[in-house]
Amino acid sequence: MTVRIVVLAFLLWAAASAAAEGPAATIKRDFDACRAHANIDACYDALRWKPSDPQLLVALGDAQMRAHRTADAIRTYKRAAQISPDMAGLSAKISAAEARPAKRAPPIAAHADPGKRFSNAAPEAQSH
């Protein structure tokens, strides 16, 4: 019974401290996670609070580039450029992203039999 009370008290304390943290601290934590760890989800969480922040958009674009999501990064960089056209280094990021070659699909195995069927159906020669 005392363990339950301690656990309940800890959970209440954790919830109260998270509520007292406020949006500014949440944005800073998410922004830091976005920049330092290329955490795309943290970028999106921070952008929910400040959707028109060009620095957040650039951080999201950088995280997308690290995750090899080049097309998404280009769109994100261009959105940041629309909001802040004179941001330093942004045109270089867009150019570098556009110059990056797209990832190709893996080649089809040369040893695969083109006439081979993969099905749960019975062979044609078998009667039902």
Q: Dump pLDDT digits (tens) for 90-127.
A: 999 999 999 987 666 556 555 556 666 666 666 666 55
In a domain, 6, yes or no: no
Dihedral over Cα of 46, 53, 89, 100: its sign: positive
Q: Using alpha carbons only, how large is the chain's radius of gyration in Å?
A: 25
The mean pLDDT of 59-82, rounded to a whole number, is: 92
In a domain, 88, yes or no: yes
Domain count, the chain: 1
In a domain, 85, yes or no: yes
Provide the whole-model pTM.
0.61
d(CA 15, CA 109): 53
